[in-house]
């Protein structure tokens, strides 16, 4: 059988299978591990109502391969929203994808081969790492601090590699706003610095902005909005603000790039899911919804921080997020994988830091808590339980 | 910019962009070109009702990344249906995909590189050709007749290549039942011959069975049901029997292959679409629905054949399908691309044969008519119009 497989996938198969990293978490845990939206914030009723209305009006149209005008309308709605955030795109500069993950995969497909060096934040989104590893094993890791990726260190690293004649990255993958897993936001100064580096060292930037709408106070200006040289491919998603199960994300980039991404998007489009999203957005404008969910996540984040302060030993510290879903917690001297086993026995889960690093050892003392999924009571209860486990070790 | 693109896609980009082949067809035409299900046969009301019920019962579950039991239930439903058709699979031998196209693409992804020789029917499904061309430009074409692909000629071709030391195919792509575009069905004798050839010459078979449920009299036993040596990867779809816009298809193969296909499926799953399909199938069993749509397509096919017999000149001939969506028509001496321009001016469309061949010239005298999309009156009217255009040339 082995003789049949394509040479193109030999390297990819040397990695762990997808999802293999995911730790076992018993059903009855308080899930501070889940990067899901809160069940109460998924607009079930409105979606139901909106789907009914869509099918009444359009009948079979959104159930065919093509034909519903809603697919173009969704693109238009995305463009309008981006426009409000100082990003200008035309219809042929947007590709709607099955979530941000498909967008990232398509970008990797057209830009990454085994010679390509990809720069990533350390830590970063594990699903994205998994994708890039299907195409290359050449990575450069850029350390993070509370202000996002450290551009000064990245600059040094680039200069150093250049002087030594080492290969430079062609691509940087970053989540500059409310990052997964650290919750950090890149400062404006660093954003500009990063774009300068991209110009100087000639690389492209994938800006994953899945959490960008979920700010508690101010919304940072995206890298794309600063980007004059078309170095940024902007990836967006409705998963965190509406519902992941519909699988709607997108890439915005130059027409040339969008055409090439589309070339390899062989699941065709998703007329029904896209029409549902478009109709829902028309009936329930995003801005209104955003203020509701921002308020809720802000409050839950605040409760989580307070609970951490109240219950955790003094040695434990965390980054304070200004939006998004996550709090990134440091437990000096701890092995958070071992901790997880004990924590789940006590009924609370989190994600050990190791899953977010290329070298697992780098994440040993860290863990990611999510305040998105559970309700306020469970969040406080969960942090309390976790703190008890920590204190008893 | 060009320097950034992956070497892996250089060859693919030498082809025409996806969908470029599609001829322009004015809005007001009778669409005998459309391989869509009939609007009246798309179960709009039942789907609406079923979605409402699903969301009432499961609430936010099918709108998350994971969590709805319906995703496993859908697999189970697929397995049960395949079991009724003499094909035995377990849960880890089925991968649900975004339509048959994604299944075909994933298969190509893991089995086809630029060295791989792919054998295809000539003519064959143009979207599949487009997919394989992203991975290789080495094809072997097997001529078709009214009984499907000519296994005798394929056998000769294989023997000939072997004796000359030419590379042999690792993969055969076939639609043995109610083929697109020819509507033909491979005879049982040829099916067995094909599997023998696969054993002798050591190749895998992709059996695309998108139309297999749409029989008018008897349902042919699939290649997979004859397959003792696990040479067949079975691709199925709900697009032709329920609704393409939900994008639900699947691959059934060995566990080993399914694991590798899943590795590269980076759109993740589609929880909502899959839950909708599963819930719908539970409420409205497929067997009941199938007899309704089989009857309807049979009748429309019959009307199309009668109209062809009534209105076309004697020189024109066609293959008589025993199921599916299509009638494949030969017009000796004609150039069906030129004919299309005139036909659309008269208000009727079809697909010129050239789109279904690797070498367009081979399809010059052929065209594909679809009886699936339009209603009975329009079918007769459309064939009449087309015949008039043919008679006046």
Residue B27, judged by CB atoms within 10 A of its CB (0-12, 13-18, 19+), counts as: exposed
What is the rounded CA–CA span in Å between residue B176 and residue B169? 18
Alpha-helical (H) ranges within B59-167 are 70-84, 99-111, 126-133, 151-164
Q: Residue B55 is nearest to which of A5, A48, A260, comparing CB atoms?
A: A48
Taking only residues 338 to 367 of chain A, the set having a beta carbon closer than 8 angstroms to any beta carbon of chain B reads none
Q: Residue A267 is nearest to which of B5, B8, B247, comparing CB atoms?
A: B247
Measuring CA to CA, which residue among A357, A278, A5 is closest to residue B260? A5
Instruction: State the sign of the Cα–Cα–Cα–Cα dihedral B79, B85, B87, B88.
Output: positive
- Checking DSSP bridges between strand B326-330 and strand B249-252, what pairing results, if any? unpaired
Fold held by B23-43+288-391: 3.90.1150
Residues on chain A touching B56 (C-beta within 8 angstroms): 48
Measuring CA to CA, which residue among B213, B211, B234 is closest to residue B224? B234
- Checking DSSP bridges between strand B148-149 and strand B139-145, what pairing results, if any? antiparallel
Residue B218, judged by CB atoms within 10 A of its CB (0-12, 13-18, 19+), counts as: exposed
Contact B318, B330 (CB under 8 A): yes
What is the rounded CA–CA span in Å between residue A248 and residue A102? 9
Q: How many helices (H) does chain A have, and how many strands (E)?
A: 12, 14
User: What is the per-residue DSSP string for B199-258?
Assistant: HHHT-EEEEE-TTTT-BSS-PPPPHHHH-SSS-EEEEEESTTTT-GGG--EEEE--HHHH
Is A134 within 8 Å of chain B by CB?
yes
CB atoms within 10 A of CB B155: 17
> B224-249 pLDDT, tens per residue?
999 999 999 999 999 999 999 999 99
| Inter-chain CB proximity A243 and B60 less than 8 Å | yes
pLDDT confidence of residue A393: 86
What is the rounded CA–CA span in Å between residue B159 and residue A29? 62
Contact B70, A245 (CB under 8 A): no
- Checking DSSP bridges between strand A204-208 and strand A171-174, what pairing results, if any? parallel
Is B47 within 8 Å of chain A by CB?
yes
Is A372 within 8 Å of chain B by CB?
no
Measuring CA to CA, which residue among A183, A175, A199 is closest to residue A103? A175
> A14-73 pLDDT, tens per residue?
999 999 999 999 999 999 999 999 999 999 999 999 999 999 999 999 999 988 999 999
Q: Enter the tokens of residue B319.
A: 């293959």
What is the rounded CA–CA span in Å between residue B208 and residue B176? 7
Which of A63, A136, A210, A229 to probe by mutation at the B interface, max B CB count within 10 Å? A63
> B378-391 pLDDT, tens per residue?
999 999 999 999 99
Q: Residue A102 is nearest to which of B51, B68, B266, comparing CB atoms?
A: B266
Q: Residue B266 is nearest to which of A45, A105, A170, comparing CB atoms?
A: A105
Is A42 within 8 Å of chain B by CB?
yes
Taking only residues 7 to 36 of chain B, the set having a beta carbon closer than 8 angstroms to any beta carbon of chain A reads 7-9, 12-13, 17-18, 36
State the nearest Cα–Cα gap between A106 and chain B, in angstroms.
Answer: 9
Q: CA angle at residue A295 from A294 to A300, to 5 degrees? A: 100
What is the rounded CA–CA span in Å between residue B53 and residue B254? 35
Fold held by A45-283: 3.40.640
Residues on chain B touching A63 (C-beta within 8 angstroms): 42, 44, 47, 243-246
- Average of per-residue pLDDT across B364-377: 98
What kind of architecture, by CATH, is found in domain A23-42+288-391?
Alpha-Beta Complex (3.90)
Contact B32, B369 (CB under 8 A): yes
Taking only residues 314 to 333 of chain B, the set having a beta carbon closer than 8 angstroms to any beta carbon of chain A reads none
Instruction: State the sign of the Cα–Cα–Cα–Cα dihedral A216, A219, A222, A226.
Output: negative
| Inter-chain CB proximity B272 and A246 less than 8 Å | yes
> A320-379 pLDDT, tens per residue?
999 999 999 999 999 999 999 999 999 999 999 999 999 999 999 999 999 999 999 999
Q: How far apart are the first and last CA of chain B?
A: 49
Residues on chain B touching A65 (C-beta within 8 angstroms): 36, 239, 244-245
- Average of per-residue pLDDT across A70-97: 98
pLDDT confidence of residue A42: 97
- In sequence order, the 6+-apart residues with CB closer than 8 A to the CB of B391 are B313
| Inter-chain CB proximity B13 and A260 less than 8 Å | yes
Minimum CA–CA partner of B105 in chain A: A266
> A210-225 pLDDT, tens per residue?
999 999 999 999 999 9
pLDDT confidence of residue B67: 85
**DSSP-based three-state secondary structure for A211:** coil
Taking only residues 274 to 293 of chain A, the set having a beta carbon closer than 8 angstroms to any beta carbon of chain B reads 275
Contact A369, A353 (CB under 8 A): no
- For the cut 90, the answer to whether the pLDDT of residue B3 exceeds it is no
b/e per residue B306-316 (b: at least 16 CB within 10 A) = ebbeebbeeeb
| Inter-chain CB proximity B56 and A63 less than 8 Å | no
- Average of per-residue pLDDT across B70-89: 97
Write down how long chain A is.
393
Q: How far apart are the first and last CA of chain A?
A: 49
Contact A43, A243 (CB under 8 A): yes
Alpha-helical (H) ranges within chain B are 44-58, 70-84, 99-111, 126-133, 151-164, 188-201, 223-226, 255-263, 271-283, 286-311, 336-345, 376-391
Question: How does residue B2 score in pLDDT terms, banded at 50, 70 and 90?
Answer: confident
Strands in B240-331 per DSSP E: 249-252, 317-318, 326-330
Domain boundaries, chain A: 23-42+288-391, 45-283
Q: How far is CA B261 from CA B34, B70, B229, B272, B352, in A?
A: 30, 21, 20, 21, 34
Instruction: State the sign of the Cα–Cα–Cα–Cα dihedral A338, A341, A346, A351.
Output: positive
pLDDT confidence of residue B127: 95
Contact B92, B258 (CB under 8 A): yes
The domain B44-283 is classified under which CATH number: 3.40.50.1370, 3.40.640.10, 3.40.50.11720, 3.40.50.720?
3.40.640.10
Measuring CA to CA, which residue among A246, A193, A109 is closest to residue B68? A246
What is the rounded CA–CA span in Å between residue A324 and residue B19? 39
Residues on chain B touching A1 (C-beta within 8 angstroms): 256
CB atoms within 10 A of CB A86: 11
Taking only residues 61 to 100 of chain A, the set having a beta carbon closer than 8 angstroms to any beta carbon of chain B reads 62-65, 68, 97-99
Q: Residue A266 is nearest to which of B62, B105, B263, comparing CB atoms?
A: B105
| Inter-chain CB proximity A60 and B51 less than 8 Å | no
ipTM comes to 0.96
- Per cent of chain A over pLDDT 90 is 97
State the nearest Cα–Cα gap between B29 and chain A, in angstroms.
Answer: 15
| Inter-chain CB proximity A110 and B246 less than 8 Å | no
Which residue matches tokens 């409000």?
A84
Q: Residue A99 is nearest to which of B239, B244, B267, comparing CB atoms?
A: B267
Measured torsion, CA atoms of residues A344, A100, B281, B35, in degrees rounded to the nearest 10: -160
> B15-46 pLDDT, tens per residue?
999 999 999 999 999 999 999 999 999 999 99
What is the rounded CA–CA span in Å between residue A164 and residue A21? 35
Element (H, E) at B145: strand B139-145
| Inter-chain CB proximity B243 and A134 less than 8 Å | no
Chain A, chain B: beta-carbon pairs less than 8 Å apart: 209
């Amino acid at each position: 059988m082995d003789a049949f497989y394509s040479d193109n996938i030999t390297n990819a198969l040397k990695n762990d299978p997808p999802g293999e990293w995911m730790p076992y978490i018993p059903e009855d845990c308080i899930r501070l591990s889940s990067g899901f939206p809160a069940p109460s914030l998924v607009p079930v009723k409105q979606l139901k109502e909106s789907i009914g209305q869509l099918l009444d009006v359009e009948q079979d149209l959104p159930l065919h391969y093509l034909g519903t005008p809603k697919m173009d309308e969704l693109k238009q709605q995305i463009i309008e929203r981006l426009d409000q955030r100082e990003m200008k795109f035309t219809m042929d500069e947007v590709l709607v994808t099955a979530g941000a993950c498909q967008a990232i995969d398509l970008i990797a497909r057209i830009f990454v081969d085994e010679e390509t060096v990809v720069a990533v934040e350390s830590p970063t989104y594990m699903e994205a790492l998994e994708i890039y590893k299907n195409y290359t094993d050449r990575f450069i890791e850029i350390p993070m601090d509370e202000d996002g990726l450290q551009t000064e260190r990245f600059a040094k690293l680039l200069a150093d590699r250049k002087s030594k004649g080492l290969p430079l990255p062609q691509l940087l993958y970053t989540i500059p706003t409310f990052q997964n897993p650290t919750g950090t936001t890149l400062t404006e100064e660093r954003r500009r610095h990063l774009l300068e580096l991209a110009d100087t060292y000639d690389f492209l930037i994938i800006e994953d902005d899945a959490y960008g709408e979920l700010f508690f106070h101010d919304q940072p200006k995206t890298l794309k909005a600063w980007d004059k040289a078309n170095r940024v491919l902007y990836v967006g998603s409705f998963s965190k603000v509406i519902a992941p199960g519909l699988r709607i994300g997108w890439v915005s980039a130059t027409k040339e790039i969008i055409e090439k991404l589309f070339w390899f998007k062989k699941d065709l489009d998703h007329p029904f899911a896209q029409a549902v999203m478009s109709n829902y957005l028309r009936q329930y404008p995003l801005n209104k919804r955003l203020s509701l969910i921002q308020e809720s996540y802000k409050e839950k984040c605040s409760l989580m921080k307070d609970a951490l302060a109240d219950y955790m030993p003094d040695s434990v510290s965390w980054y304070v997020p200004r939006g998004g879903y996550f709090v990134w917690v440091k437990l000096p001297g701890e092995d958070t994988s071992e901790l997880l086993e004990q924590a789940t026995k006590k009924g609370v889960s989190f994600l050990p830091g190791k899953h977010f690093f290329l070298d697992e050892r780098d994440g040993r003392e860290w863990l990611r808590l999510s305040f998105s999924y559970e309700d306020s009571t469970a969040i406080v209860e969960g942090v309390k339980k976790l703190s008890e486990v920590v204190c008893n070790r």
